[in-house]
Structure 1
């Protein structure tokens, strides 16, 4: 899952939106687009699953992200960050758990995946800014 749809780069003015296909990232992309911002999306696969537990497989999430991108009229880049997630988030989570501490994988994921790996890939594609749906807040002033 390391392909790029509709081209391999973005325009420098484009904002790369981490697009999961869920409500938060979809609304963030919509708000940016409706403000006239040029955007592209990136779907990140962060886990390799074998579908034994009936969880929503990444391909379903990718299809949701593609459907959102199609509705918004934007390009969607796909990247597989499962190895990075395993090495920098999950292994650390397990080490902390074994040491008797209560780890928070979200902190590691933010640092290592969202604000490092995702950012690096967005910049490599030519984006100058990134956006996610995490902690989004919209404020209207008239």
Structure 2
């Protein structure tokens, strides 16, 4: 059986992709990247937003319901040094940053 990794956000698109691949006989592994931790969330953060703890929980729940493996990868350090810091540096130096 061929293996495939699906980036799981907890949303509809990645969930359906994982389901369709599983139905076609692939061994599906869901992977969620933990890229950000908000140390002081505002009341607005309670909604389902990118990188929220709830989104990670949703991805885990979807994988459990589909009967597929799930892995959470801590990418916070790499994301901060490779995306956030260069973005902030460019912005502070008057350039238009491209974050991703």
TM-score normalised according to structure 2 size: 0.82
Aligned to 1:16: 5
Aligned to 1:103: 97
Is it true that 1:93 corresponds to 2:93 in the alignment?
Answer: no
CA distance in 2: counterparts of 1:77 and 1:97, whole angstroms: 34
Pick one of 30, 36, 53 that aligns with 2:42.
53
Is it true that 1:36 corresponds to 2:30 in the alignment?
Answer: no
Offset, 1:85:
0.6
Pick one of 26, 33, 42 that aligns with 2:15.
26
The answer to which structure, 1 or 2, has the higher relative contact order (CA under 8 A, 6+ apart) is 1
Q: Cα RMSD over matched residues?
A: 1.9
Instruction: Give the direction of change, closer, same or farther, for the CA distance of 1:41–1:90 in structure 2 (3 Å limit).
Output: same
Which ranges of 4 or more aligned residues in structure 1 deviate by more than 2 Å? 56-59
**Secondary structure of 1:105's aligned partner:** coil
